[in-house]
Amino acid sequence: MNDCLFCNIIAGTVPAQKVYEDDTTYAFLDIGPVSKGHTLIVPKEHAVNLTEGSEAAATAMMKTVYKIAPGIVKALGASGYNLGMNHGTDAGQLVFHTHVHLMPRYAGEPRTFVKSHPAQEELATIAEQIRKEIFF
């Protein structure tokens, strides 16, 4: 799907700060994060939303969440995280490729869903910190 942003990120034709990849999933930092380390986990199989994709892709996506969440928390000193999925336009879905948001949370910081716009250098540093704690 050459018009799908996330398919292009997976293919390497659009740059992203990758934190994890395996045969079926890809995880990268959100460019408009609501918290430091806000990561998107996507199946490599293209589907507009969760119920249009395969059960295998959905299961693989959640296995990746399970695998990388502890590394993200440890790497960034988070005290917890939110998981989110927007299914459809009315739910706020902006990119029509199934994905889960993993949003680290930090003690003493207000929980917000307002996007920020960090510099690419900052995202690259965060991605490197996370990759060091995730064992491929």
- DSSP element (H, E) containing 65: helix 55-76
80-84 and 100-105 beta bridge pairing = antiparallel
Q: Respond yes or no: is residue 38 known to be catalytic.
A: no
Torsion, CA 16, CA 61, CA 111, CA 87, rounded to 10: 100
Residues 76, 110: Cα–Cα separation, whole Å: 17
Length of the chain counted residue by residue: 136
Look at the block and give the residue holding tokens 């064992």: 135
Catalytic pick from 38, 97, 99, 101? 99
Residues serving a catalytic function are: 99
